[in-house]
Structure 1
Amino acid sequence: MLKKLIYASFFGIAALPALTKGQTHTSTFSGVKISAEKMEVNVQFYSPAIVRVTKSPINHNFKKQSLSVIKVPEKVKIISGNLNNELYFKSSKIIVFIDRNTGRVRFSELNGKKLLTEKDRGTNFSSVQDNGHETYDVKQSFTLDTAEALYGLGQLQNGKLSQRNQKVLLKQENTRVSIPFIQSSKGYGVFWDNYSPTTFEDTPQETSFDSQRGDCSDYYFMYGGNVDGVVAKMRELTGQAPMKPLWAYGFIQSRERYKTQFELMDVVKKYRALNIPLDGIVQDWQYWGPDSNWNAMAFDKKTYPRPQAMIDSVHQQNAHLFIVSWPGFGPKTQQYAEFKEKNMLIDFDTWPPKGGAKPYDVYNPKARSIYWNYLNKGIFSLGPDAWWLDSTEPDHINIKESDWYQQTYLGTYLNWLNAFPLEHTSGVYNNQRLTSDRKRVVLLTRSAFAGQQRNGSDTWSGDLGSNWGNLKRQIPAVLNFGMTGLPYWNVDIGGFFAGAFVKDGGAKNPEFQKLYVRWMQFSTFTSMMRSHGTDIPREIYQFGNKGDWAFDVQEKYINLRYKLLPYIYSVGWNVTHNSGSFIRPLLADYPNDRKVRNLSSEFLLGKSLLISPVTDKDVQDQQVYLPAGYWYDFWTGEKIAGNKMIDKKTPIDVIPFFVKAGTIIPWGPSVQYALEKKWDKLDIRIYPGADGDFTLYEDENDNYNYEKQKYSEITFHWNDKAKTLTIDSRRGGFEGMLTNRKFNVDISPVGAENAAKGKIVSYTGTKTTVKL
């Protein structure tokens, strides 16, 4: 009946069915506005699969400009009509229904299958005063199917993958990234576009977002069909992620903190002398001197007398330098004085304690430009390569009730606090790109918000304690973070606070060594492999010498990371070019497998590599679930049928690591840094048992010329039945591109330490087929 009614309707929405007495409607651009239950209800298609729904009290005048959403609504063809008490609007992807009496909105697939329904009278406004302005506590409730799972909400530390039956306060804090976004196992997502502290709660009766401040209920419904599809819709709505430079996927060494420029330079020298690969080193806080001079964006003359020589030394050793920058300023800095004079400080205490520092008003575009001008003049002009943007929540200490009502450029702080990291990173990203396009912007941030992926942001999980429980919780944390649409996430290898191990030998303590190397094994497969922490220095040589197990295991995984760089960089291109994800839950590829709905101990890197980190102290055999199909044990080459749980032995140097049948992996050369050798003799490893494809991506590695189509793609096709590998003609090109190269094609699964013994194929850019 529904299908007949829909197809008997008409294109366009200008001639809506008649409404009952007292009801009004207005056609809008690809949408409609109606009045119901003393509310104005506005439904607008942004695309055939993305719909914005706003509700506000009648006659409450306000302006709403999203900070996260940058998509401009499309002109969408819509069929509309009337069904019982509901108006309906059908695009080529979904149907939206609006109850004419209550304003309730619901969504379904084209075949009528229910996706999401607002709870009857589930939009609630409680009037509050906000510095003399009338606004509301806004709550929007939905009803969900009992069986569906929910994911997202940012980075939580609750150890759960599905967020059903949870109550979470979404408020930015160190170790907690709060993003009011959920996606369902039914293939849809909801972005609640509000920046104030928001309580998400899921009960048997309802699922709701309840924000402390808001002029309207404002959410975006998106239908993607599956995990990857929903992520792609969120990127379409809030922005695409730019490419990271190749070097940023290499190994990064840090410490809290290097205290002189000579100490920092010495670390790079030691890595080079030991032949341990390294691509980045991080200068953490207090290079500016005392706390009163906090974040002065200038080097202290006593401890960093020649900063240009330091940066040049790092570059001469083919490494890259991160410099830390904070959003708060000490009272004796020039920045503090200028921001105070221009009323661009937010008047509450931030880190460090008793230092008198205040954060600048990140919501003010002029303040963001001033921030960059100081950062550019004092630091960027010297040539560093990346930024460590610490305290991007920001830290808020000595809290007073009045702090929440500090006036910012956009309004009181309470209204906007969750978007602080988004606005702060936007200022650095946009202004660096205006200053120079020669280096891709790399931002290591401690917090994030919806849309921050467009700022070159790679968020780390914050200042965690060094323990096994925290390590285990990071797997569901990164999976939920990625399902909000932000692809790049990393950890402090070993956890940040390691004081519990100091008395018993620090880095020589076998218990800390065990925890650290297991954490490193996990980090090998995240978007940034980075060692950092306080209490115990983490450089590889602190753990012993070559021949010592704690040293050798680290060396093994650092080298594994570099071998995987061609695969990892191509996954990065899929993130940028196809709205892909870096780390993915198993349910992304196996949505009908109920066993993976809440599987929080494993993940996929790209589409082909399955990783199950060891997160228990004394485990000798780890249970790993392999989904349907065939899988290869990376270390042994054993082929295993999936759809079952297996036991994998886990000596200290082994992380359970499996490769899906049909996978093609380009295997990089042994190097000391990412750009040491060209990829002119790559091993191409094929894991037979199914057909497969892989696209090798290459570009100029660290500029934005890829945005001008200066890159190349080479696609490999494996035909399992015919046992042939077809290498397609190269697409695209760029300056310095390899025009002639060799591929060593190997069909036999081999472990990390084994050299490929395959067929050498000369490739000049034209289509080639190899029989194996």
Structure 2
Amino acid sequence: MTKRFTSLAILLLVSLSFAVAQTARYQVTKTGVDIDFDDTFQTAIEQKISLTPISEQIIHVRVTQGPRVERNEDFITVDTLRKKAVEWTTEEEADTLKIKTRYLNANVCLTTGVIVFKDQFGKELVTERKRSSHSFIANSYQGDAFYKITQGFEIDENEGLYGLGQHQSGVMNYRGRQVTLLQYNTEVAVPFLTSNQNYGILWNNYSITKAGDVRPLEPLSSLKLTSADGQEGWLTANYFHKDSLDKVVLSRPESQINYLYLSDQHKFPKEINLQDAFVRYEGSIESPYEGLHRLHFNYAGYLKVWINGELVEDRWRASWNAGSFEIDIDMTSGEKYPIRMEWTPAGGESYLGLKIQKPIPASLKNTFSFRSEAGDAIDYYVISGDNMDDVISGYRSLTGRAPIMPKWSFGFWQSRERYKTQKELLDAAAEFRKREIPIDNMVQDWSYWKEHDWGSHDFDEERFPDPKGMIEKLHQDHFRLMISVWPKINEESSVYPYFRDKGWLYSRNIADARKDWIGKGYTSTFYDPFNPEARKGFWDLMNEKLYSIGVDAWWMDASEPDMHSNINMEARKAVMQPAIGSSVRYYNAFPLLNAKGIYEGQRAVDPNNRVFILTRSSFAGQQRYASATWSGDIASRWHDMRDQISAGINFSMSGVPYWTMDAGGFLVEDRYYEPARADLEEWREMNTRWYQYGAFLPMFRAHGQFPYREPFNIAPKGHAAYESIVYYIKLRYRFLPYNYSIAAATYYDNYSMIRGLAMDYGDDEKTLNIDDQYMFGPSLLVNPVTEKGKVSRSVYLPHGSWYNFYDGSYFEGGKDVEADAPYERIPLFVRGGSIIPLGPELQYTGEKPASEIDLYVYAGADANFVLYEDDGLTYDYEKGESIQISLDYNDAAKTLTIGQKKGSFKGMLKGRTFNIIYVSPQTASGYDDEKKINQKVRYRGKEIVVDL
């Protein structure tokens, strides 16, 4: 026994010694480190890890399984950083290999392959979860072989996580959430995550991706269901005629609610005409799990949801564009929760879905993951910084700077779905000038072509007899014109044969004979922007038909691409087949390549005229193509307005700075078409609140279906709605020096105009989840009103000092206040330690230069603001032709230093007047007050120190 025991012990020790000694091989190269794990003891899988320091704050990680695969394309990043030398070192300590730059360290365990990222002070930023056999799952689509890819990261228990594009769930902090990165009308996929712990992760993958809690959502039947009459196993679904709610037409048990697409319509009862239906689901839900559950809804039509007898959601969406929302329920195991849903379908085809997200298990509580449908590798960049601005700056240094948009784009935009004739558009423009409502930009939406000729970019000569003359008239009256251009071409279009014969079109939608919704319905498809020749051909068509006659800006609609809003994802993938590979691999990158073709096309034809592109979808890196994004076809409802706040903030925190929305919402309920008095007044109030919010976004644009959205069509002059809307349009123009200066900072300093509170107050835990307030630039705290009839709202003022913009009243920070919000005003606060330059009143941005500026200086902390100017139209600023004037306030000395002017450009002012208005707790002075000028300073470019 003793001899046998000794033998076993020796064998065990030898085995353990072998396991401990078994570490990965690695090779240091000129660009980084390659580490090879060949089934080593603790890795569980074969893997090769490459780490490449890109800059002092960025490290690229690429993990492959099996033979190394080199990607031939990189759409997201630019190569400027890769051409610069970066200093880095390696150090091996025990079983850890440390790759160090000045600001970022990556410590790789040579037995497990797990990477720990730390800052220069040794503080842990984020750590990989150990990879397993589930990290790489071999798959293929239409002959394209790839892996389904998963990578998790361990996060801090109090961490705030942001970015990931634009989503409509009304959520600010994505910790513990599931986010689908998918290009879809109102949903925008940008695979960049930012953390209040001052790092970011750029997930370098183009396929549809789940982020956060990536466990599959489960059907309703995963919960224990009880019907209205106590039967276990289902909810009671009672179907009524919507005009006779006292009589049940049909009752049936339903344990799954999964009517998400056109292909699901057969699941509805054949006896029910959805056009006239009303459905009530009743019963209770019960979970075997303890903790936070989330109910994920997709819906069209009217939907109300009650939990425990409390109405928790009241929503509406049009049938062709289903929406989504989430409901949180903290459930006790084994306890029944009464649920009732009342649904009025939106027409003959309608959509409703309910999935369950169960509580996150303890083992995954502090995990954030990415799970992509297709990839050759786990591929991501970690970006560190001293703050979140620094992280976003690193992201843009990797993916491209955002050019400065033309100055006229910071004026007001008026759109309508749609101006049906040349006369309608010119009449609307003339009415703005007649009423002296400031405006720069008119927008021509779709269907300016003949019905069958979608894709030709030809105007219908009956409705638009002289498009060139129309644009010349707009230009004479100081308007710019943006026009809708779809990447879509009808089979009956005059240009279809040419694009087809060149092989530039996706052919599946034509083969399937799927018709669109215009007129009799036309088979159509989209061009392929992944094909460089097709990109050029598409721009050449735009140039020939539109740019050559004076169109100023491009509205790239349906850039997901959106074949049909309600076909299922498998059908969408089958339709989109890029020339370079499968749709599964490249699905989310369509809008990026689409914008690339237009930006590069215009700059090639007219190199010094600034490009402006408005697009419904966006992707990582798209900011470098002068691309702004709007939030898609949202509904004209209060809840949709509120959801835009967090949607826009997270989009900006994804590193893409230019975002806007349809002020007033796009989709309109029937009750507003011929409104009763109460509905009319609600419409006016809602539009007023939406305009008030929209005035503090990078682009200020009104758009939507009928009723018309021009201020004079919303309400008559003298009505509070009209007066408030015009007030905020005029205020927008007064803010032009402030807005244009912070837009310049987005180019020079990679700044973000829309700022979640965590960006500036990340040390305040309360700010991490605030989803209905934001900073606009360094000074303004914007607090939209998103509830009917509200004349006040709760506002959290972060630490520091604050002033009411309108009357100058002073507030201490670090607390909630109930802020006044009369019909005519949005609560707007200015941070103590701010300098705000306000220019003259204008009718359009180029009317006159800012030769006199009201300079508001707010006491409470030191302040700096850099006033920026250039010609506003050309790319000469890229050659250094611009001026900067540094404005510095010293709070202790109570002095303002107007710095020496730096730089020059053609047409710049030789001098100007600054009217200095000093605001302190003792000297309240607000914008709505009679102007209290403390000092009037004549400035001619030399430094001036002003005693306040």
Settle same-fold status: TM greater than 0.5: yes
Report the CA distance between 1:199 and its aligned residue: 1.1
2:501 to 335, 338, 341: 341
> 5 Å matches for 1:657-676?
657-676=828-847
Matched, 1:235 2:396: yes
Query: Aligned with 1:120: secondary structure?
Result: coil
The CA deviation at 1:85 is: 1.6
Indicate yes or no: 2:540 matched with 1:362: no
Work out the CA distance in 2 between the residues paired with 1:378 and 1:524: 33
Counterparts of 1:316-327 in structure 2, within 5 Å, are 316-327=476-487
2:645 is equivalent to residue 475 of structure 1: yes
What residue in structure 2 maps to residue 121 of structure 1? 131
**Any idea what SS the aligned residue of 1:597 has?**
helix
Alpha-carbon displacement from aligned partner over 1:69-104 (angstroms, at most 9, x marks no partner): 113424322232222221111111121111212222
Give the conservation status (yes or no) of the 8 Å contact 1:35–1:103. Answer: no
Deviation at 1:743, TM superposition (A): 1.3
Give distance in 2, aligned partners of 1:727 and 1:254: 40
Q: Deviations over 1:268-299 (max 9, x none)?
A: 10000001111100000011110x21121121
Backbone CA RMSD of aligned residues: 1.8
Pick closer, same or farther for the CA change 1:506–1:31 going to 2, 3 Å.
farther
Report 1:215-614 matches (<5 A): 215-290=376-451, 292-349=452-509, 352-353=516-517, 354-397=521-564, 398=567, 401=570, 404-405=573-574, 407-500=577-670, 501-504=672-675, 509-614=680-785
Change in CA separation of 1:478 and 1:195 when aligned onto 2, cut-off 3 Å: same
Selected match of 2:935 from 737, 742, 759: 759
Change in 2 beyond 3 A, CA 1:598/1:528: same
Quick one: which amino acid aligns to residue 46 of structure 1?
Answer: I
The CA deviation at 1:690 is: 2.2
- What is residue 3 of structure 1 aligned with on the other side? none
- Specify whether residues 134 and 414 from structure 1 end up closer, same or farther in structure 2 by C-alpha distance, changes over 3 A only: closer
Q: How far apart, CA to CA, are the structure 2 residues paired with 1:623 and 1:527? A: 25
Q: State how far apart, in whole Å, the 1-side matches of 2:904 and 2:894 are.
A: 29
Asked if the contact 1:499–1:536 (Cα under 8 Å) also holds between the matched residues in 2, the reply is no
TM-aligned CA deviation for residue 727 of structure 1: 0.9
- 3-state SS of the aligned residue for 2:471? helix
Structure 1 counterpart SS, 2:769:
coil
1:182 to 178, 193, 200: 193
Query: How far apart, in 2, do the equivalents of 1:388 and 1:218 lie?
Result: 32
Once the two structures are superposed, residues 661-689 of structure 1 have per-residue CA deviations (whole angstroms, 9 ceiling, x without a partner) of 12111111111111112111111111123
1:84-95 to 2 correspondence within 5 Å? 84-95=94-105
Q: CA deviation at 1:403?
A: 5.0
SS of equivalent to 2:747: helix
Secondary structure of 1:732's partner?
strand
Pair 21,102 (structure 1): closer, same or farther in 2 beyond 3 Å: closer
* Pairwise CA distance, 1:610: 0.6
2:877 aligned counterpart, secondary structure: helix
Map of 2:818 onto structure 1: 647
Contact residue 347 and residue 403 of structure 1 kept, 8 A: no
Amino acid across the alignment from 2:27 = T
Instruction: Choose the corresponding residue for 1:70, options 78, 96, 106.
Output: 78
Output the amino acid matched with 1:69.
Answer: T
Partners of 1:506 and 1:443 in 2: CA distance: 39
1:55 matched to 2:63? The reply is: yes
The correspondence of residues 687-702 of structure 1 with structure 2, limited to 5 A, is: 687-702=858-873
- The SS at the match of 1:569 is helix
Structure 1, unpaired ranges of 5+: 1-18
> Would the alpha carbon gap of residues 507 and 30 (structure 1) be closer, same or farther in structure 2, given more than 3 Å must change?
farther
Structure 1 residue 722 displacement after superposition = 2.4
Shift of 1:60: 4.9
Deviation at 1:64, TM superposition (A): 4.3
Q: Indicate how the Cα distance of structure 1 residues 685 and 305 shifts in structure 2: closer, same or farther if over 3 A, else same.
A: same
Q: Which residue of 1 aligns with 2:267?
A: none
Structure 2 unaligned blocks of 5 or more:
1-19, 38-44, 214-359, 920-924
Equivalent position amino acid for 1:34 in 2: I
Aligned 8 A contact 2:144 2:581 in 1: no
1:771 match:
947
Cα distance in 2 between the residues matched to 1:741 and 1:728: 13
Kept in 2: contact 1:385–1:439 (CA 8 A)? no
Q: Contact 1:508–1:543 (CA<8 Å) still a contact in 2?
A: no
Hey, what does 1:30 align to over in structure 2?
A: 31
What is the identity, as a one-letter code, of the residue corresponding to 1:649?
A: D
Matched to 2:455, the amino acid is: N
Aligned partners of 1:604 and 1:610 also within 8 Å: yes
CA contact 1:348–1:403 (8 Å) conserved in 2: no
**How far 1:720 moved relative to its partner?**
2.3
Paired residue type of 2:759: A
Amino acid at match of 2:540: N
Hey, what's the Cα distance between the residues in 1 that align with 2:894 and 2:581? 64
Q: Which residue identity does 1:393 align to in structure 2?
A: E
Which amino acid is the alignment partner of residue 581 of structure 1?
A: S
Deviations 1:607-658 (A, max 9, x none): 1111111111122221111111111101111011111111111110111101
Q: 1:676 to 1:338 in 2, by over 3 A?
A: same
- Find the residue that maps to 1:315 and give its secondary structure: helix
Look up the match of 1:731. Answer: 902
- Normalised by the length of structure 2, the TM-score is 0.78
* Bigger shift: residues 237-246 or 670-679: 670-679
In the aligned structure 1, how far is the partner of 2:609 from the partner of 2:929?
34
* Alignment partners' CA distance in 2, 1:185 and 1:739: 43
Q: Any idea what SS the aligned residue of 1:172 has? A: coil
Q: CA offset at residue 505 of structure 1? A: 5.4
Paired residues in the alignment total: 753
- Provide the secondary structure at the position in 1 that maps to 2:762: coil
Deviations 1:423-475 (A, max 9, x none): 00010011101111342111111110000101111100110011111111111
Indicate the structure (1 or 2) with the bigger Cα radius of gyration: 2
CA, structure 1 residues 111+693, in 2 after alignment: closer, same or farther (shift >3 Å)?
A: closer
Question: SS of the residue aligned with 1:345?
Answer: coil
2:194, 2:603 → 1: CA distance? 32
Overall identity of the aligned pairs, in %: 37
Q: CA deviation at 1:744?
A: 1.3
Distance 2:497 2:135 in 1: 44
The answer to whether the 8 Å contact 2:807/2:928 transfers is: no
- The Cα of 1:352 is off from its aligned counterpart by 3.6
Which is further off, 330-339 or 451-460? 330-339
Quickly say closer, same or farther: Cα 1:344–1:504, change in 2 above 3 A: same
Hey, what's the Cα distance between the residues in 1 that align with 2:515 and 2:640?
A: 24
* 2:523 alignment partner AA: G
CA contact 1:662–1:688 (8 Å) conserved in 2: yes
Task: Name the stretch that deviates more: 399-408 or 753-762.
Answer: 399-408
Q: TM-score, normalised by structure 1?
A: 0.95
